[in-house]
Amino acid sequence: MPAIFDLLYREYCRARLAEMRKQLLIAAERFETLEADHHPAKQGDDERTDAQTGHGMPH
C-alpha cells in the first residue's frame, strides 16, 4: 500500500512541477513582449521636446 502512495505522490509532484515550469515560460514570454514594446526615455528626449515646443526650464 505505501508503494501506491509513493507512486501517486511522485506523479503529483511531477505534474505540479510541469505546471510551474509552464507558468514560468508563459510569464517570461509576456515579460519579453512587454520589454520589446517598451522604449525607455533618454535624457536627451526631454531637451529635444523642450527645444521643439519652446517651453521648458531655461538652461
Amino acid at 18: A
pTM: 0.48
Helix/strand/coil (H, E, C) string of 4-40?
A: HHHHHHHHHHHHHHHHHHHHHHHHHHHHHHHHHHCCC
Q: How far apart are the first and last CA of the chain?
A: 81
Q: What is the pLDDT of residues 3-38, one digit of tens each?
A: 999 999 999 999 999 999 999 988 888 887 777 776
Delimit the domains of the chain by residue range: 1-34
Q: What is the pLDDT of residues 39-54, one digit of tens each?
A: 666 666 555 555 555 5
